[in-house]
Amino acid sequence: MSEIHLRKSVCNVQKQRGFYDEIPSAHIAPLINRLSLIMGVLQGGEMKYVAKIKELQDALEGMVLQFAYPSDNPPRISTGGLSALEYAFKVLGWPDPKLTPEYCCQYGRCKRVATCGTPTKKGYKRVCGEHFRKLNKQ
């Protein structure tokens, strides 16, 4: 978005709200400059920062999923009262506990947390410890 377009947008909003004459252009110029800078950062080569933030968020989520405390029926994870995990849950915007149906045992209607995986006749399955032992006896 160009500076001219931003300036026109700000002026249109001011006219619509009835305070166009009340704001001196000296106050509008810094706003236009800031908006131009922000738009340039987001549209230019600085998108790498947005990608880096996403990468860090994914890394944090992976660590939390590895170290959070799992519980069964329904599958969920919690912080267990650990301050580092509490902070990570807060940063990720997750409730404590967080339901994790995607980590449910894939054997029948089992509602336990899948803690391991094994190949089966129907493909690879993520299963709980009990069903892992059962499947590997067959």
pLDDT tens digit sequence for 24-67: 555 556 666 666 666 666 665 666 777 778 888 888 888 888 88
**Model pTM score:** 0.56
> What's the pLDDT score for residue 28?
56
First to last CA, the chain: 64
Residue boundaries of the structural domains of the chain: 3-44, 70-137
Contacts of 71 (CB under 8 A, 6+ apart): 77, 78, 97, 113
pLDDT tens digit sequence for 86-102: 999 998 999 999 998 88
Contacts of 11 (CB under 8 A, 6+ apart): 20, 28
Residue 21: which pLDDT band, with cuts at 50, 70 and 90?
very low
